[in-house]
Structure 1
Amino acid sequence: MGKIILIIILILAVGIVSAIALGKYRWHLATETVRSNLEAARLPIKPLTFDSRKIADLPAPVQQYFRATLEGGQPLISTVRIAHQGTFNMSETDEKWSPFTSTQLVISQRPGFDWDAQIAMMPGINIFVRDACIAGEGILKASVLGLATVADVGGTPEAARGELMRFLAEATWYPTKLLPSQGVKWEAIDNSRAKATLKDGNIAVALDFSFDETGAIATVRTDARPRTVNGKMVLAPWHGRFWDWEMQDGMRIPKAGEVAWEMPDGSLKPYWRGRITNISYQFAG
């Protein structure tokens, strides 16, 4: 009897391991397809380098940001590959933080990215998450072990707008994308803030950027980012902040950040805290 039980346990263990491996393989294939589609939507970048004379008409804090971030002649970024690690809050109401690791591919023109994450729910059990903007389409998918889908949002203008907002906020990691020559329009708010607007196809988004005394981007914010709550898409205030600025390939970028939803009482509910563990660039030309 003991041998039979042992055999059953071994069969179950092999089945579980095989299922986990199959889920990872299927998710990996989907990632390859998504990133191939992202690459296929790529457009040429012009000009090839940053001309510091072209920022003279921008709001003062934006000029200070570019002067602190880029040197004249800096090649413009075409592709970014990023690895992160951090924690993700899986609850809309409580504090249920789980560790994650992720990779991200970003294409500057046409604006797009694919964020591919694994969130550890418990030992051996990961949630696979894809957050992406591909050729003007927003995508959000989550799957337990890559086998059981628990979220699948996309194909709507609201999803596209939300992902383009993320792309614009994260341009702090690929700062040449924030230049006017790359499609970003800047408008002054006050001495330390400016509004950035980016358009992709029929979708236009705007974020308020605040800058510290060194010229670094301190926060980004919008009053109305699309958010799924109880299965419904709503608009909610959204907030991001950045720190640990370092030089990377001749540019100053933040290596850590946090994003949060703003509650009705004005408090912030963070849901993503992460740090860059690796970043590499390909430049135009």
Structure 2
Amino acid sequence: MNLLNSSAVEMLPEPVRALAERLGCESTGGAPTVRLSQIGRLRSGANASWTQYRASQTIASDECRFSWIARTGLFGLVRIEDALDHGTGRLTVTALGCLPVMRAPTCAALDRSEMMRYLAEIVWAPDAILRNRQLQWDVSGDRFLAVSCRTSGPPATVTFALDENGRIAVVKAADRPMFVAGGFRPACWFGRVFDYRRHAGYWLPFRAAVGWEIDGQPVVCWEGQLVEWVAYSEENGVRPQAS
């Protein structure tokens, strides 16, 4: 088993270590990579139509890195890629395998936006709480935690609100860069995760809804449901399913 640096774990605030334990993380190891698939629906704004999607995603637990690829549109011919790799964000939409529909410009705002998504999706890669030493944690009261990471621009920060079971229920960022009209502007971004189930030794939310505050109103733009979820360890392969 891949051993973690015990001193690094002990330096985490006690509520953060307690959260990791409640979610099923093991202080002696864990999985560096998570692979999952989702189904759901998404839209571009309050007045836009919903469209169904199916997506696959990988999330790293020991560094800030993820890749989300979705298929949507007629016969799934539209491909959306949302990713963060070595601090660089990527957001593209193509059709028919090669025709460009949209590509967000590479910039510090995109990097920061994708970093915030990575931080929020710790809910699906809980081992990152203990494994990822790039993360910085702050505790506010009994039920609020903030996690941050440095980017090429200002640090990215999201806040978690815990439910009555001490698990993450709400994710919020006051100023996530939102891509609109060919550029980025900061906006309040929020997410709700729920339907927690015991799976492969972890407590994971199997449903989520995410949106933006637009013209002062909360607008849900993305809804998803887990279909598959697998954690991989460096030495032992797939973590065994819990009974």
TM-score, normalised to structure 1's length?
0.74
CA shift for structure 1 position 189: 2.1
Indicate the SS of the match to 2:113: helix
From 204, 225, 231, the equivalent of 1:281 is 231
Indicate the SS of the match to 1:167: helix
Indicate the SS of the match to 2:77: strand
Look up the match of 2:238. Answer: none
Indicate the SS of the match to 2:97: coil
Give the distance between the partners of 2:79 and 2:5, measured in 1 at CA: 38
The answer (yes or no) to whether the contact 2:4–2:131 under 8 Å persists in 1 is no
Alignment of 1:117-128 (within 5 A): 117-120=70-73, 122=74, 124=75, 126-128=77-79
Label 1:109 to 1:53 Cα distance change in 2 as closer, same or farther (>3 A): closer
Q: Does 1:183 align with 2:134?
A: yes
Given residue 232 of structure 1, which amino acid in structure 2 is its aligned partner? G
Q: Deviations over 1:173-207 (max 9, x none)?
A: 11010237633222122221121112367763111
Q: Percent identity?
A: 24
Indicate the SS of the match to 2:121: helix
Label 1:233 to 1:59 Cα distance change in 2 as closer, same or farther (>3 A): same
CA shift for structure 1 position 81: 1.1
Give the distance between the partners of 1:154 and 1:112, measured in 2 at CA: 19
Look up the match of 1:86. Answer: 40
Give the distance between the partners of 1:153 and 1:214, measured in 2 at CA: 39
Give the distance between the partners of 2:35 and 2:122, measured in 1 at CA: 13
Q: How many residues align?
A: 235
Given residue 69 of structure 1, which amino acid in structure 2 is its aligned partner? L
The answer (yes or no) to whether the contact 2:62–2:132 under 8 Å persists in 1 is no
Look up the match of 1:192. Answer: 143
Unpaired stretches in structure 1, ≥5 consecutive residues: 1-45
Q: Tell me which of the two structures has the higher relative contact order, counting C-alpha pairs closer than 8 angstroms and 6 or more residues apart.
A: 2
CA shift for structure 1 position 54: 4.0
Label 1:181 to 1:119 Cα distance change in 2 as closer, same or farther (>3 A): closer
Look up the match of 1:18. Answer: none
Look up the match of 1:116. Answer: 69
Look up the match of 2:182. Answer: 231
Q: Does 1:58 align with 2:13?
A: yes
Alignment of 1:32-51 (within 5 A): 48-49=3-4
Indicate the SS of the match to 2:223: strand
Give the distance between the partners of 1:154 and 1:166, measured in 2 at CA: 17
From 36, 44, 50, the equivalent of 1:97 is 50
Give the distance between the partners of 2:111 and 2:96, measured in 1 at CA: 26
The answer (yes or no) to whether the contact 1:101–1:119 under 8 Å persists in 2 is yes
Q: Deviations over 1:201-239 (max 9, x none)?
A: 776311111001101101111111111112221011100
Indicate the SS of the match to 1:224: strand
Higher mean displacement: 178-187 or 231-240:
178-187
Give the distance between the partners of 1:197 and 1:52, measured in 2 at CA: 20
The answer (yes or no) to whether the contact 2:2–2:28 under 8 Å persists in 1 is no
Label 1:125 to 1:188 Cα distance change in 2 as closer, same or farther (>3 A): closer
Give the distance between the partners of 1:245 and 1:51, measured in 2 at CA: 28
Give the distance between the partners of 1:192 and 1:185, measured in 2 at CA: 17
Alignment of 1:189-268 (within 5 A): 189-199=140-150, 204-265=155-216, 267-268=217-218
RMSD over equivalenced CA pairs, Å: 2.6
TM-score, normalised to structure 2's length?
0.86
CA shift for structure 1 position 155: 2.1
Give the distance between the partners of 1:179 and 1:187, measured in 2 at CA: 14
Label 1:114 to 1:54 Cα distance change in 2 as closer, same or farther (>3 A): closer
Higher mean displacement: 217-226 or 107-116:
107-116
Structure with more helix by fraction: 1
